[in-house]
Amino acid sequence: MHGESLTPAALAELTGVSTDTLRHYERKGLLARPPRTDAGHRRYPAAAADRVRLIRRALVIGFSLAELARVLRQRERGGAPCREVRALVGTRRAALDRQIDELIVLRRDLDRLLAEWDRRLDATPPGHRANLLETLLRRGGL
How many helices (H) and strands (E) would you count in the chain? 6, 2
How much is the mean pLDDT over the chain? Answer: 93
* Distance between CA atoms of residues 25 and 90, nearest Å: 24
pLDDT at 114 over 50: yes
Query: Which residues does 115 contact at the CB level (< 8 Å), separation at least 6?
Result: none
pLDDT of residue 82: 96
pLDDT of residue 1: 44
The tens digit of pLDDT for each residue in 13-66 reads 999 999 999 999 999 999 999 999 889 899 999 999 999 999 999 999 999 999
CB 7 within 8 A of CB 42: yes
pLDDT at 4 over 90: no
Per-residue pLDDT averaged across 122-134, rounded? 95
pLDDT of residue 2: 46
State the DSSP code for 46: T
pLDDT of residue 140: 63
Cα 31 to the chain's mean position, in Å?
18
Per-residue pLDDT averaged across 75-102, rounded? 96
Task: Give the percent of the chain with pLDDT over 70.
Answer: 96
